[in-house]
Amino acid sequence: MIFLEIVVIVLLFVVIFLAVKYIYLRASFEQRVKEWLEKEEDRIRKDAIERSARTLSGKTLEKLIPFLEKFPYDAHDLRWLGDPVDFIIFDGYSSEKSPKQIVFCEVKSGESKLSKVQNEIKELVEKKKVKWFEFRI
């Protein structure tokens, strides 16, 4: 009987020790995460601001692309969407009032690639999965 009481007491101390150790480790981990966040907060904020500025300047510059000399379509034929595709071009509309073709145009620079959605739209256009829908009220 005494042996059983000793085992229970030892187990009780082990459980108490493990609980205290768990609380200590959790508090220590939370403190380290808090210190890391405080240390990295400025860098994270600066990075977010830089990314936002690049995105905004990119969106602004996209609107000027049709006025470049080497752009192959008349700027008056374009309609800017911005997302998920930058432009829809009604080729020939401004000069002849009769479009010859409709072109989906996405402007990219450098090494940037089409997004997943843009690739899906490109595939739909290439597979001629485009239709006309007229909604009357």
Q: 58 pLDDT exceeds 90?
A: no
Closest CA to 62 of 48, 47, 90, 83: 83
CB of 91 within 8 A of CB of 99?
yes
* Cα–Cα distance measured from residue 27 to residue 30, given in angstroms and rounded to the nearest whole number: 5
Among all chains, which residue has been given the structure tokens 């187990």? 11
- Tens-place pLDDT, residues 104-119: 999 988 788 999 999 9
pTM: 0.60
Q: 124 pLDDT exceeds 90?
A: yes
